[in-house]
Amino acid sequence: MKTISCMNIDGSLLRAFGAEDKSYKKGELVYREDDHAMYYFQIEEGKVKLNNYDENGKEFIHNILAKNQSFGDSMLFLEKAYPMNAVCLLPSEIIRVPKDNFLELLKEHPHLSVSMNACLSHRLYFKAIMIQSMASQSPVSRLKGLMDYLKSYHDGECGQAFNVELTRQQIASLTGLRVETVIRALKKMEKENILSLESRKILY
């Protein structure tokens, strides 16, 4: 069975430990960079991007997450502020559990703690792979590293193409490339049978 990079805990169990359901509008912040980490978040519906901005106001997107995926959980084990924002790309329904309640949940359900360790380790592994790819001057290498990283967050069927649900602009923001460079690199990857392009879809 594939290990994925996000926890997906049964909602009824989360609510038994004090979870609350929160509704967010498109564009609304779930949390802001430098906020103190206070909750475990799990997406019921919608889509959330993790981002921040450099000193020139240029956006860098760290990840885009959707239904049944979690975020902010790694920060619950540190006395550190969030290093990025979490912004809803769509109207979203999110379950959030207060930090102390979530840590108590892990104590009472050790199998979830083991699963979380596996997920966090998996994230670190693919993050390291992506960082290596981002250091490359090759746009194709950068895109492959990004797509491998994003694909690691999804428990797809073996052999099934992964639908990269990102715009060309979002891919550029994730890789530090120009949009025009992303478009050329995607076409090159299609010619090399690394991925396929169907209308605006990217299947990897």
State the amino acid at position 111 in one-letter form.
H
Long-range contacts of 192-200 (CB under 8 A, 24+ apart): 194/140, 194/144, 195/147, 195/161, 195/164, 196/161
Q: Are strands 47-53 and 85-88 parallel, antiparallel or unpaired?
A: antiparallel
Separation between Cα atoms, residue 44 and residue 117, nearest integer Å: 22
Q: What are the pLDDT digits (tens) for 136-178?
A: 889 999 999 888 877 876 665 545 688 888 889 989 888 888 9
Q: What are the pLDDT digits (tens) for 65-90?
A: 888 889 988 889 988 889 999 999 99
Phi, psi of 133 (to 5 degrees): -65, -40
Beta carbons within 8 Å of 197's beta carbon, 6+ residues apart: 186, 187, 190, 203
- CA-closest candidate to residue 164, choices 198, 135, 136: 198
Separation between Cα atoms, residue 124 and residue 122, nearest integer Å: 5
Query: pLDDT > 70: what percent of the chain?
Result: 93
pTM score of the predicted model: 0.76
DSSP for residue 76: G
The residue that leads in pLDDT, 25 or 62, is 25
> What pLDDT sits at residue 155?
60
